[in-house]
Structure 1
Amino acid sequence: MTAVTRSLSKVNAAFRNDPDANQMFMEILCAKESPDLTLRDMNECGLLGKFVPDFGRVVAQMQYDMYHVYTTDEHTIRAIGILNKIERGLLTEEHPVACKVIHQIQSRNVLYVATLLHDIAKGRGGDHSELGAKVARKLCPRLGMNEAETDTVAWLVLHHLAMSMTATKRDLEDPKTITDFVALVQSPERLRLLLCLTVVDIKAVGPNVWNNWKATLLRDLFYRAEEVMAGASASEGRILRAAAAKTRLADRLLEDGWDQADIDAHLKRGGKGYFLALDLDTLAHHARLVRGAERHRDELTLDTRVDEEKSVTELTVYCLDHPGLFARLSGAIALAGATVVDAKISTLKDGMALDTFLIQDAEGGTFSRPDRLARLSAMVKQSLAGEIRPLDELMKRAKVSLPSRTRVFTVPPRVLIDNRASATHTVIEVNGRDRPGLLYRITSALVEQRLQIAIAKISTYGEQVVDVFYVKDTFGLKVEHAGRLDQIRQALRYALLEAEAQTAPPPTKHARKALAKKTAKRAANPKAQAAE
């Protein structure tokens, strides 16, 4: 190692452009066994950054957030190591789909080079995906890759976040989500490459980032995209899958002793989206909950199930649907000390809400302690009964609770509204700094804007929250008027700024001004206060 370090001056432009040297580097990068060990040695002695100067720019590059555990260079080398383990079948239990499709890939060299380059342009003051694609187009020919391979590597670097963003931010039951994703990917080979790159990228971020919930979303997106690429339309596939889901549920209920009349009545309650959004066990579980509630004439039914495999606790709420229900439930969950990682909102044809939340504790584990579950149940009941006002309670807690680690980070509030992502809903994406009760504040703002929340996709990346909502107006239509969209955008920004002002010291001049404006608006609008 010392000898190599002393000889780094010999790694000049002529050496870097030498075909034999580049062929040897490719053999190291794409080695059949543990290429990460050699690459790490090369990195520690400075050879890797000297041979690939663009990589040298990210060596020891810190990522100042709570999401990324490793420096950029270490993250990249770890990703290559994980990719090699997947290829060797050492992670079959954890990544069964990736371990299968990686052996269907035409060019493994493309995948290894794309993994090396996917974050190579971080810290340059622009979109690292776009800048990284330019680096790939320049570097790949030097490494001996042909034009087609170079194009594929550049495409993978440019779109290396596309699959995870689609899986976590978009409704996979919406046919347009799948058709848009397929239009981007275009070929089964790219789909397989992108899946493998996405898995190792997420897995290499840190020890607790990958979980079964993300695995399920990525696997679902992969198979649905593969199905469309095979010739089935997204909408046709949706109809067939819904019919198959109903048939499987009917068979399960028949095995459980239900008579055909009760089965038919239950199947009529939900639309296609409901039966597609949940697995068979959950659908059967819901059927039993609904039948029990109807027989006992219960106004509110709460149920919790702990899923250790996915590291989540499933909270199911069955009651009469009404405006603001999702916001009140979000507030109650926050007061109980839980965080929402996903939510499936269903309004049945008889007007009853059957909402399912996947929640975790503050450490990212299951919310399963008996005392916590009891408190969660009590908070939900009190919130829906109007006995507590979640916003007031959250503000009181913010004043006496210990400071959160996220307070040292600044996450600029951002609201994105997209009317192209769905044919039937307006898609709203909200970004901000994570803090207790933020989801409640956001959903309350949506309620104040008279929007119906159909789908919620909740994601947390360290200190940053990315929440996506599929909404309609009071008439069940997309929101398309420019003035109305701007009003919604401003209301959500105010909600983010207000929450920031109440939890992060000291507030900026801009935040104080926004908070004062929001307070004045609430004071002048009694209906807005009642919505809380």
Structure 2
Amino acid sequence: MNKVPDSLHGRRSIIDRRQVADALNDQLAGLPDTTARREAIVAALRAALAVGREEVSRRLAANPTRGRDAVTSQAFLMDQIIRILFDATIAWLYPISNPTASERLTLIAVGGYGRGEMAPYSDVDIGFITPYKPTEWTEQVIESMLYALWDLGLKVGHSSRSIDETMRMARADLTIRTALLEARFIWGDRTVYEECVRRFDKDVMQGTARTFVAEKLAERDARHKQMGDSRYVVEPNVKEGKGGLRDLHTLFWIGKYVHRVRSVAELVDVGLLTRAELSQFQRAENFLWAVRCHMHELSKRAEDRLTFDLQLEVARRMGFTEKRGRSSVERFMHLYFLMAKTVGDLTGVFLAHLDDAMAKKGRRYIPAMFTRPKKLDGFVLDRGRISIPDDSFFREKPARMIEIFALADKHDLQIHPNTMRALNRDAVLIDRAVREDPQANALFMSVLTSPRDPEKVLRWMNEAGTFGRFVPDFGRVVAQMQFDMYHHYTVDEHTIRAIGLLAKIEKGEFKDDHPLATAIIAKILSRRVLYVSVLLHDIAKGRGGDHSLLGAQVAEKLCPRLGMSAAETETVAWLVKYHLLMSATAFKRDLADYKTILDFAEVVQSPERLRLLVLLTIVDIRAVGPGVWNSWKRQLLTELYDAAEEVIRPGHKQRGRQERIAAKREALSQRLGIDAKAFEKLVKRFPDSYWIAEPDHILEKNARHLLAAGRSDLSIDAQPDPERGATLVTVYAADHPGLFYRLAGAIHLAGGNIIDARIHTLRDGTALDNFLVQDPFGGRFDGPEQIARIKTYIEDALLNRQTLMAKLDQRPLPRTRAEAFEVVPQVLIDNKASNRFTVVEIAARDRPALLLSLAFALFQSKTMVHSAHVATFGERAVDTFYLTDLLGGKLESKTRLATLERRLIEAATNTAGEMLDVNAFAMSS
């Protein structure tokens, strides 16, 4: 039988039930009718609930890390409220002088409330149990109590069943069975409760332990998958996520179902936890409950996702401060992830204990398929899992802590959880001698570069603490979060996922998503260089400097230890140093500007480095998190790779600019199939820069658009571009300096988000502009109503329909998650990156209409935008513009550049409404 612990101190300062009940009874005695009495009951309970919650909140503020006390106090408060309500209901609203056997009722708490745990805004999960079918009296009491609880503003999860019905439903439904497993008597007829408990044990639990365990573990796995299947997501779900409270609860449910324990402490008595593991369980649970209680209080609702804005506030509430260059929130989240890891470790050893206790001789309680290897170098098999023969095995030879993972990888074996516990315990024995042991390093490299599943085994190694001890630089990034919206995982989890992605690409599992990577990975000359560079690319994060440069220094020291040659070491260090170069070039520079390609190729220099760099870049981006990789990024990286490979390839004879233009013109002529005279008239309108900038399929679309437009002054086209995962919006119009920001404003109002723009001025003074547009979440913007809307809004913007422009100033900007972050705007102006243009790069906090604000600032500065490139990295947006002055020259004047920088900083800081003057917007042309 569960009950709220007697150790809860100062109960009466939370709520004094007798005092509240006596006062209420005195008041009710003087009220003549049921309606007045019901209102008085609710008013008295509302006041008592408010006072109690305030006291619980005060205690949490005074002891912000004592989560267990907070949830126990909250459950105690709710118990007393329900008891007072029940007594008042049957005494004053529906009194019954001589109840029959059927007119009995018991109230039980189920679920977390049944354990005596309740966060401030958790549901109140209760059950009304009757011995037989409910009578009119029991239905009246139940209905009255529920309405009163709802009037108190409580979210009530409830059921009303007879004992027979309860048993029948528990047998059929795992959720109901689990809830009843933790049923606790609150108030009412105790004999009904005791009969219910007896029947549940006899009719439901008896002989079904194996089934229950299998179902709960399957349920847990499905929940993990839904929550991202990692305990290292940077916005974790404290309740349902991997390594969260629900995982701890699952262990208790299994222990209770199998051994009938009544408390977590009793898990020690039945051999499912050791004393040390019980301490870890209670410490992790206390911490997670404290975090969840603070989240509820801050949100004023049942919020279980630890979002970025909550992380800041919870860290402050729990007393974390900046230390050794790490912010308070990073230190708080580091501890959170260590606690989540503890939960994972406890799950493993708990299930091992359960397996050992309940398995039949020679069989596993939790089955698994395995093959028996012939040679294990002293290690043994324990029902298909690799284990150690005795407790001193690792202490005798610490290098075995690396060897066991190599054997697990080689023979596709799981590691026994008891052995994982020994690894966690003995990892401190991995010292310099072990780290410099050539055999140990060779074994580690065999795991890292395994053709099987290196991600799985490296994750085990990390969970055991062995990885960080053997590679101390990696140990520094274990459980290290990156407080931004771009990275979804901690640094160690991101790195391990990237290695796993590389292995999958090598096995051909991502042919559709990564055709380029799949095609070239077989051509690389050194797999070891590639895998080690992926391991080390982020290893210097969190050190207060450029992690690329610092990481290259780590590589220069570590690679020789791993048995790599001087040439291999140099290549790894180069890859780590330049691992962001390819993405920065592809996403923030104009690939049609030939100098961009030449500058990139000058750094890369060799085909092998180019192949290695593109593979590293792809897995780095994809391992950031779900939804970060898309077809647009794939196309840009492929374009850059192809262009650079053409320059770098040995023996390459560079095609001249005019030759490339002539080749594109010839290809376009064949595609269009129009007569030579009409074709010549069309293509004379295009400047040479246009032919270089656009790929063949865009040239064809633009040509057909112009032919269809005829003599029209304005023509707008929008077509889905599945290859890029976006919609190509083409606008043909009279050119003028305000054109770009007008188009940006119209596309924003239509609900689109510009991810790339190429602006072309034709030889007859007209403009042909191509925009790639997605929705604000990076999805496709190609619904029929979206296409129609974007065309209408652009036409309205260019025809000076002032009412539309006013909407831009009036439209409220939605709050975004990015507002939790401080991003100081930065403007970089480069006159060397292009031979023809001034390249301006602006980094700022991402927000709706940012591009529009920047475009307006460029218009104010009397510049012409020739191309725009938009990249977002979580809360950071990096927008790059290729500009000239109104006469087509670079921006050279220092005064003018300073003014441009100032305006762009203001545009990045202020909202669109603050930047834009509606009248100027409407009238400029």
Same fold? TM cut 0.5: yes
Aligned to 1:487: 899
- Percent sequence identity over matched residues? 49
C-alpha distance in structure 2 between counterparts of 1:453 and 1:277, whole Å: 14
The answer as to 2:623 corresponding to 1:211 is no
8 Å contact 1:394–1:437 — kept in the other structure?
Answer: no
CA shift, 1:409, in A, is 1.8
Query: Which residue of structure 2 lines up, in the alignment, with residue 12 of structure 1?
Result: 431
The 8 Å contact of residues 8 and 46 in structure 1, kept in 2 or not, is answered as: yes
State the alpha-carbon separation in 2 of the partners of residues 389 and 67 from structure 1: 37
Q: Give the counterpart of 1:263 among 666, 679, 700.
A: 679
Tell me the residue number matched to 1:498: 910
Write out per-residue CA displacement over residues 80-115 of structure 1, whole angstroms, 9 at most, x where no aligned residue: 111111112221222122112212211110110000
Q: What SS does the corresponding residue of 2:772 show, helix, strand or coil?
A: strand
Aligned to 1:84: 503
Report the alpha carbon displacement of residue 423 of structure 1 after superposing the two structures with TM: 1.0
Counterparts of 2:723 and 2:589, CA distance in 1: 23
Q: Is the Cα–Cα contact under 8 Å of residues 800 and 922 in structure 2 kept in the other structure? A: no
Unaligned runs of 5+ in 1: 503-514
Superposed displacement of residue 218, structure 1: 0.9
CA distance in 2, matches of 1:288, 1:529: 31
Query: What SS is found at the alignment partner of 2:497?
Result: helix
Query: Which whole-Å CA distance do the structure 2 matches of 1:459 and 1:481 have between them?
Result: 28
- Whichever residue aligns with residue 202 of structure 1, its letter is I
Alpha-carbon contact 1:331-1:390 (below 8 Å) kept: no
- 1:3 correspondence with 2:422: yes
Specify which structure has the bigger relative contact order, considering alpha-carbon pairs within 8 angstroms and separated by 6 or more residues.
1
Alignment map for 1:164-183 (pairs within 5 Å): 164-183=583-602
* Partner residue in 1 for 2:744: 330
Q: Is the 8 A contact 1:175 1:238 kept in 2?
A: no
SS of the residue aligned with 2:911? helix
1:331-373 alpha-carbon deviations (Å, 9 max, x no partner): 0111111101111111111111111111111221111222222
What CA distance in whole angstroms lies between the structure 1 residues aligned with 2:441 and 2:870? 44
Letter in 2 for 1:288: R
Instruction: Find out whether 1:100 has 2:519 as its counterpart.
Output: yes
Letter of the 2:472 counterpart: P
Which position in structure 2 is the counterpart of 1:409? 821
Mapping 1:377-456, distance limit 5 Å: 377-388=791-802, 392-398=806-812, 401-456=813-868
Partner residue, 2:767? 353
Query: 8 Å contact 1:328–1:390 — kept in the other structure?
Result: no
Moved over 6 A (4+): 526-529
1:28 maps onto 2:447 in alignment: yes
Which residue of 2 is the match for residue 125 of structure 1? 544
Deviation at 1:494, TM superposition (A): 1.3
**1:277 aligns to what?**
693
Q: Which residue of 2 aligns with 1:461?
A: 873
CA shift for structure 1 position 52: 0.7
How far apart, CA to CA, are the structure 2 residues paired with 1:353 and 1:402? 33
Determine the C-alpha separation between the residues in 1 that align with 2:628 and 2:860: 34
Which structure 2 residues correspond to residues 278-357 of structure 1 after superposition, within 5 A?
278-294=694-710, 297-357=711-771
Are 2:490 and 1:71 equivalent residues in the alignment? Answer: yes
Larger Rg: 2
TM-score after normalising by structure 1: 0.91
Query: Is the CA contact (8 Å cut-off) linking 1:448 and 1:531 kept in structure 2?
Result: no
Q: Find the partner of 1:44 among 454, 460, 463.
A: 463
SS at match of 1:7: helix
Deviation at 1:200, TM superposition (A): 0.7
Q: Is the 8 A contact 2:802 2:922 kept in 1?
A: no
Q: Distance in 2 between matches of 1:87 and 1:237?
A: 36
Q: Deviations over 1:408-428 (max 9, x none)?
A: 222111110001101111000
1:117-169 CA-to-partner distances (Å, cap 9, x unmatched) read: 00011111111101111111111111111111111111100000001111111
Q: Indicate conservation of the 8 Å contact 2:797/2:805, yes or no.
A: no
Q: Counterpart amino acid of 1:265?
A: K
Q: Greater shift after overlay, 21-30 or 92-101?
A: 92-101
Structure 1 Cα separation of the partners of residues 475 and 505 of structure 2: 27
C-alpha contact (below 8 Å) 1:412/1:432 kept by paired residues:
yes
**Distance of aligned partners of 1:390 and 1:57 in 2 relative to their CA distance in 1, 3 Å threshold:** farther
- Cα deviation, residue 391, structure 1: 7.1
Give a deviation string over 1:202-230, Cα, whole Å, max 9, x none. Answer: 11111211111111111111111111113
AA at the equivalent of 1:105: I
What secondary structure sits across from 2:871 in the alignment?
Answer: strand
In structure 2, distance between residues paired with 1:30 and 1:439:
43
- CA shift in 2, pair 1:190/1:389, >3 Å: farther
Distance 2:831 2:472 in 1: 42
Secondary structure of 1:403 counterpart: coil
Shift of 1:233: 6.7
The residue that corresponds to 1:509 in the other structure is none
The answer for the alignment partner of 2:125 in structure 1 is: none
Shift of the alpha carbon at 1:407?
Answer: 1.6
In 1, are the aligned partners of 2:742 and 2:921 still within 8 Å (CA)? no
* Count of aligned pairs: 505
* Alignment of 1:160 onto 2:571: no
**Conserved in 2, the CA contact under 8 Å of 1:449 and 1:488?**
yes
Three-state SS of the structure 2 residue aligned to 1:160 is coil
Please say if residues 458 and 467 of structure 1, whose CA atoms lie closer than 8 Å, have aligned partners that are also in contact. yes
Kindly tell me: are residues 404 and 420 of structure 1, through their superposed partners in 2, closer, same or farther at Cα, counting changes over 3 Å? Answer: same
SS at match of 1:345: strand
Residue 102 of structure 2 is matched in structure 1 by none
2:530–2:612 Cα contact (<8 Å) kept: yes
1:506 paired residue number = none
Bigger shift: residues 307-316 or 73-82: 307-316
Q: Which amino acid aligns with 2:818?
A: T
Which letter does structure 1 place at the counterpart of 2:605? Answer: Q
Shift in CA distance, 238/69, structure 1 to aligned 2, threshold 3 Å:
farther
The CA deviation at 1:436 is 1.5
CA contact (8 A) 1:173 1:238 kept: no
Instruction: Determine helix, strand or coil for the equivalent of 1:65.
Output: coil
2:522 is matched by which residue type in structure 1? H
1:412 partner amino acid: V
Q: Distance in 1 between matches of 2:804 and 2:647?
A: 44
Per the TM alignment, residue 76 of structure 1 is displaced from its structure 2 partner at its CA by 0.6
CA distance 1:390–1:419, change in 2 (3 Å): farther
Give the Å deviation of 1:239: 3.3
Distance 1:51 1:402, change over 3 A: same
For 1:485 and 1:530, locate their aligned partners in 2 and report how far apart those are by CA, in whole Å.
26
* Paired AA for residue 600 in structure 2: F
Distance (whole Å) between structure 1 residues aligned to residue 617 and residue 744 of structure 2: 30
Seen in structure 2, the aligned counterparts of structure 1 residues 142 and 282 have a Cα distance that, compared at 3 Å, is same
Distance in 1, Cα, partners of 2:421 & 2:658? 64
Q: Aligned residue for 2:414?
A: none
Deviation at 1:392, TM superposition (A): 4.8
1:51–1:425 CA distance, 2 compared to 1 (3 A): same
TM-score (ref. length: structure 2):
0.53
RMSD, aligned CA: 2.1
Structure 2, unaligned runs of 5 or more: 1-419
Q: Does structure 1 residue 146 correspond to structure 2 residue 565?
A: yes
Aligned to 2:478: 59
Select 2:640's aligned residue among 204, 207, 221: 221
Q: Distance in 1 between matches of 2:774 and 2:441?
A: 47
Aligned partners of 1:238 and 1:217: how far apart in 2? 21
Listed one character per residue, the Cα deviations across residues 208-262 of structure 1 (whole Å, up to 9, x for unaligned) are: 111111111111111111111135576x4543332211111001112xxx21111
